[in-house]
Amino acid sequence: AAGVIQSPRHLIKEKRETATLKCYPIPRHDTVYWYQQGPGQDPQFLISFYEKMQSDKGSIPDRFSAQQFSDYHSELNMSSLELGDSALYFCASSLGARDKTEAFFGQGTRLTVV
Amino acid sequence: AQTVTQSQPEMSVQEAETVTLSCTYDTSESDYYLFWYKQPPSRQMILVIRQEAYKQQNATENRFSVNFQKAAKSFSLKISDSQLGDAAMYFCAYRRYMYSGGGADGLTFGKGTHLIIQP
């Protein structure tokens, strides 16, 4: 079965650079979530989208922005990168507004800021 | 704001034995969902089990079951017949129920419990 696809899987950037992470949800899923997991930490919710509109917002820095496109894929844009942004970034997707449906996680993008 | 607490940073169990992982949470909501996720060394987040707060019956998935105590705001995970493949970080997570509209809130995770399986 198709899963959530994240690209790239690994990314190395220098401080103050910009990074773009992409997420392709499971086909027919219209809700996307972004999480950040630092080394040895629990995942922290950043932001979610439903039908291309922002649904919920967590601890997303102002330097980060995200959007969901007409084909439901989503991109997380990160600017002025800092060493502390080094983390595993997860995308998850779920189906519609049906709250009972579980969110499926992608394998993550490992971002290293040097 | 809701919080999720896992008081056991690490647990160890003999293969084939039973282990219980603890989780407590704090919320002012009456309707919500609770989850246990497993994160093996591959770092993939895998849903283990889900519980709806309005259901009094404890959820069960094969060797995994929960003890949901709503009044005590407790949600423990019991793993029976532990297997080597169960070794992983286990995260307890909370999500509030949305009565209307689209989408869903993000999950609030606990700090995790590292489960070690002794052969």
Q: Residues of B numbered 83-102 whose beta carbons fall under 8 angstroms of chain A's beta carbons: which are they? A: 91, 97-98, 101-102
* Band (B54; pLDDT cuts 50, 70, 90): confident
Q: What pLDDT, in 10s, does the model give residues A29-78?
A: 989 999 999 999 999 999 999 889 998 899 999 999 999 999 999 999 99
Q: Which uninterrupted H or E stretch holds A29?
A: none
- Does the beta-carbon distance from A31 to B104 stay under 8 Å? yes
Tell me the one-letter amino acid at A48: S
Q: Tokens 């219980």 — which residue? A: B20
Percent of chain A with pLDDT over 70: 95
Residue of B nearest to A52 (CA): B103
Residues in B closer than 8 angstroms to A93, CB to CB, are none
The pLDDT of residue A46 is: 97
Question: Regarding beta strands B113-118 and B10-14, do their DSSP bridges make them parallel or antiparallel, or are they unpaired?
Answer: parallel
The pLDDT of residue B119 is: 94
B107 near A CB under 8 A? yes
* Band (A100; pLDDT cuts 50, 70, 90): low
Bridge partners of residue B114, in order along the sequence: B10, B89
- Nearest-10 Cα torsion for A56, A99, B33, A1: -100
The pLDDT of residue B18 is: 98
The least confident of B9-23, B47-61, B69-83, B97-111 is B97-111
Angle, CA of A55, A60 and A61, to the nearest 5° = 145
Residues in B closer than 8 angstroms to A51, CB to CB, are 102-103
Residues in A closer than 8 angstroms to B42, CB to CB, are 107
Of A55, A105, A108, the CB nearest to B103: A55
B33 near A CB under 8 A? yes
Angle, CA of A84, A87 and A91, to the nearest 5° = 135
Collapsed DSSP state (helix, strand, coil) of residue B15: coil
Question: Regarding beta strands A19-24 and A74-78, do their DSSP bridges make them parallel or antiparallel, or are they unpaired?
Answer: antiparallel
Q: What φ, ψ does residue A84 adopt, rounded to 5°?
A: -70, -10
Collapsed DSSP state (helix, strand, coil) of residue B86: helix
